[in-house]
Every structure is written in C-alpha cells, then in structure tokens.
Amino acid sequence: MRFAENGTIIDLESKVIYNNICCYCGACGAFCPEYITYENQIPVTKKKCFEIHGACFDFCPRSFLPLFEMEKEIFGAIRSDVELGYYTRILSVKASGDTVIKTGQDGGVATALLAYLMDKGKIDAACVCKKSDDEVWKPEPCVAATTEEILSSSGSKYEQTPMIVAVADAINNYETIAMVGLPCHIQAMRKIQLSKAFDVCAGKVKYVIGLFCTETFDRDLLLAKLAEIGVDIDKVNKFDISAEKFKIYTDDGVITENIKAMKSCVREGCNVCYDFAAELADISIGSAGSEDGWNTVIVRSKVGEKLINDAKKAGAIKVKSMDEKSIKLVRTLASGKKKENMKKIMQIADPVKILNLVVEPQHLQMLL
C-alpha cells in the first residue's frame, strides 16, 4: 500500500528521535546501515541522506501508523475489538515438549511454534532475541538457523532491542523467515511489508509472531533499581511480569516488586505506545489471562490460524479454549496501557492523528 505520508531523514530526527518517542525497533537503520546506526539505544545519522521520501521515515512505526488501512491489508477486515485489535480466536496454549516448557517464559508457545516451523522445513531462519554474550541479561537481535538456536533464545528479556536489524540480516541470507517481536517490532515489520515505495523483499517474512507488552525497561535504570533492592544481576535466572508483579528469580530465591515500583525504569519511548497485544501480528502471545504454565494466544490472520492448527496436529502444542472472563482480563490490561499512555500521546500528537489510534470515545473525552 502507498502510505499517504512522506518524510525525510530530517523529519525522522525531528518528529521521532529528538521528540523522544523512538521505540528503538531498528526499522530506520536496518536497511540503510550506511546512513543510520544506533548508539545508546537511539538512531544516529552517520551520513545525511537526501531522499525526499526516506525508507527510514516510511518504515518507522512512530512516524505515522494508518492502522485501519493496515488491518484491511493484513487481515482483510478491520477490528471490532478496540482494545485487542482484529482476531478470529483467543486460546490458551502450551508447548508439548519438555525442553521447551523448561526454558520457555510461560507455556513456551513462541519457541515451540518457531521450532515446529524449523523442524518441518517451513522456515530456514527465525529472528529471535538472545542474551548478549558480553553483558548480562542484555537482549540482542539474532537470526537462528537451527532449532537449537531457537531453543537457546527462549525466555523474556525486558529491555528493548532492535529486532528489525535481525530481520534485515535474515532477508539478506535466507528465503523463508519467521520473526518474533514486541508490538513496536510488529508494527515496523508490517509497515516494511506493506510499503509500496520501498521493496526490501520483506515478503520473505512468512510468519509474524507478536508478544504482549506493557513496557520495556531502560537498561541503566533497571540496573540501578536492581542495585537499590539488593539484587545481583549475575545471579538472576529469570525475570517475569505477571499479575501486576515484577518477579526476579535468583539463585537465592524470588524477589517480588510491585510493577508500579518499576515505572521509573520504563523507557521513555514506551510511554507513547498504544498497543499491548501486538495487534498487527499473525498471532500474539502473552501470559495474561491464562493459568501458570500456559500462554494466551490471539489468532488473527489466516497464516496464524493455519500455524496453530498445523502445530496442534503435529503435536507441538496443546490447545484449550479460553472463557470470556479470562479474555476480559487481557482486554482490561490492554485498555489500561492505552489509557495510561494516552495523556503523553495527547501532549505531542496532532489531534487528527490521535483518531488513528482507535481511541474509545470515552477515553478521549476524559482527556480533553
């Protein structure tokens, strides 16, 4: 689709980067590394580009996001659920294999689906997020070309990382690709796939798997917070956010912080995000709404529907239905994020753009 808005690298700098709303997804620099690099988790212009219509602006999820048009293109229909986006089914799902269950964050479904696709030869690369070899718990985008690499990158890392850089790497070297990412990564992925102005062969990305996300943490602030509450990050085995709690699993036991106490660590760019449920993914995966050891899975596209059905048939996952009360809980969390971030969005966006966020009228009136 041809997006209605154009922008240069200077527009990207002024509207997104210097406005502190960059989400550090990697979309602006991934395909133009000679012009844009990343330093201290923000894009930095290495060389000015003189394109009046820049791919960096076109691909950025924070420059503009024509949500309804994008939904129509991806799903063939537009949402009727404001909080969760377009979907066909919402399910509770769990990986079947013991290895995945042991290493996975919740039900291990993200990893199980990627491993299933790789084992069946349906993909030759998966863009995942591994832990850095150099800095403890630092997430890094990674192209996994084997099931072992997929398994070793399971588990949630609560900092942001430019996943689209791995997508560009995979597109350059592989033919059929799956990617996993946070809502901002998924928005970027879809803008890249739908762009008619710039063809970077993004059609090679056949499966777009989203994760629920309330926020990511700034690394320096998170490290300072851990030091303040007496946690040695070298001893952390797992971080987890569920039921309003931030849990830190260490060699010495589990430390639990109220999620509100962690708000001071949130990345500034996350405060303008209006998507909890990775609304543009083929399927979205989270923990909220399902019992421990299971995932909540929102099935959205035909690709997502086929993936869940085929993986279930092959015995890679177990699936059960979700009741309306549990789904309501997911909707409440999504609504809570939208409401909380709306104030910040109102301060910086022009009013007409805000309508593109699919705002519930009562939320908007509350803030006017």
Ligand X SMILES: Cc1cc2nc3c(=O)[nH]c(=O)nc-3n(C[C@H](O)[C@H](O)[C@H](O)COP(=O)(O)OP(=O)(O)OC[C@H]3O[C@@H](n4cnc5c(N)ncnc54)[C@H](O)[C@@H]3O)c2cc1C
Q: What is the Cα gyration radius of the chain?
A: 19
Smallest distance, ligand X to C-beta of residue 256, A: 15
CB of 212 to ligand X, least distance (A): 4
Site string for ligand X, 163-202 (x = CB under 6 A): x----------------xxx--------------------
**At which residue do the structure tokens 């699936």 appear?**
319
Q: How far is the CB of 320 from ligand X (least distance, A)?
A: 15
Choice between 57 and 294, CB closer to ligand X: 294
Any idea of the CA torsion for 186, 75, 88, 303, to the nearest 10 degrees?
Answer: -70
The Cβ of residue 251 has, within 10 Å, a number of other Cβ atoms equal to 9
- Element (DSSP H or E) covering residue 38: strand 36-39
One of 21, 277, 285, 317 touching ligand X (CB under 6 A) = 285
106 binding ligand X? (CB under 6 A):
yes
Q: Is 161 in the site for ligand X (CB under 6 A)?
A: yes
Q: Which of 43, 61, 85, 104 binds ligand X (CB under 6 A)?
A: 104
Q: How far apart are CA 288 and CA 296, in angstroms?
A: 7
109 in contact with ligand X (CB under 6 A): yes
Which residue lies nearer to ligand X by CB, 3 or 246?
Answer: 246
Residue 111 binding ligand X, by CB under 6 A: yes
In the complex, what is the shortest distance from the CB of residue 92 to ligand X, in angstroms, rounded to a whole number? 11
Binder of ligand X out of 57, 59, 87, 158 (CB under 6 A): 158
Q: Give the nearer residue to ligand X in terms of CB position, either 54 or 156.
A: 156
- The residues near 214 (Cβ < 8 Å, ≥ 6 apart) are 241, 259, 276, 333, 337
Shortest separation between residue 51's beta carbon and ligand X, angstroms: 29
Our CB check for ligand X shows the closer of 9 and 334 to be: 334
Residue in this structure with the two tokens 């084997």, named with its chain if needed: 146
Question: Angle at CA 39, nearest 5°, toward 211 and 163?
Answer: 25
DSSP 72-121: HHHHSS--S-TTT-S-SEEEEEEE-SHHHHHHSSSS-HHHHHHHHHHHTT
- Residue 162 lies near ligand X (rule: CB under 6 A): no
Minimum CB distance to ligand X, residue 225 (Å): 15
User: With binding defined as CB under 6 A, does residue 295 bind ligand X?
Assistant: yes
Single residue of 125, 164, 167, 241 touching ligand X by CB under 6 A: 241
Question: Quick check: 288 binds ligand X (CB under 6 A)?
Answer: yes
Sole residue written with tokens 């066909």: 88
Q: Are strands 295-299 and 245-250 parallel, antiparallel or unpaired?
A: unpaired
- ∠ CA 130-133-138, rounded to 5°: 55
> What residue ranges bind ligand X (CB under 6 A)?
104-111, 128-129, 139, 153-158, 161, 163, 180-182, 211-214, 216, 241, 285-288, 295
